[in-house]
Amino acid sequence: MLQLAFQQMEADIFDHLWDEEIMDECCGMCVRQTLAKQQPLPSSIVCSTQRTAPIKLNSIICPLAPHCARLLLDFAGGVCIPLLCHLICMPCLAVPKGLPRFEVGVAPAIATVLAVSA
């Protein structure tokens, strides 16, 4: 009985992988999540004395928990990341104050920015 259920789930997954409507929905969801990550952090999370640090070739970057900080684009089009207070989560406490932090998921974007500016 259990094996039959697994076979049915496997068949459903295979069908979903070939269904254009489902694939479009998944791609759309991915785009929406990517755009959401580019939005500023809520003011309740960001320290009231928020500063931004431009990313340079010699910048020290510490990837942390996914919800700690997000990559931001400043008004002039330069790439900046917010420096957040150390009260958000346990991984933040292990990072020296003032070092940039960002979502692990945006590491490829940061690598691209650094490569282009080199």
Supply φ then ψ for residue 110, to 5 degrees.
Answer: -65, -40
pLDDT tens per residue across span 48-84: 444 455 556 666 555 444 444 444 444 344 444 544 4
Q: Give the length of the chain.
A: 118
The domain segmentation of the chain, as residue ranges, is 2-36, 41-117
| pLDDT in the model for residue 18 | 67
- Could you read off the pLDDT of 93-105 as tens digits, one per residue? 455 555 555 555 5
Between these two residues, 79 and 38, which has the higher pLDDT value?
A: 38
In this prediction, residue 62 carries a pLDDT of: 54
DSSP letters along 18-72, please? T-HHHHHHHHHHHHHHHHHHTSPPPTTTS-TT-EEEE--TT---EEE-TTS---E
What's the mean pLDDT when you consider all of the chain?
Answer: 57
pTM: 0.23
Q: How far apart are CA 12 and CA 19, in angstroms?
A: 10
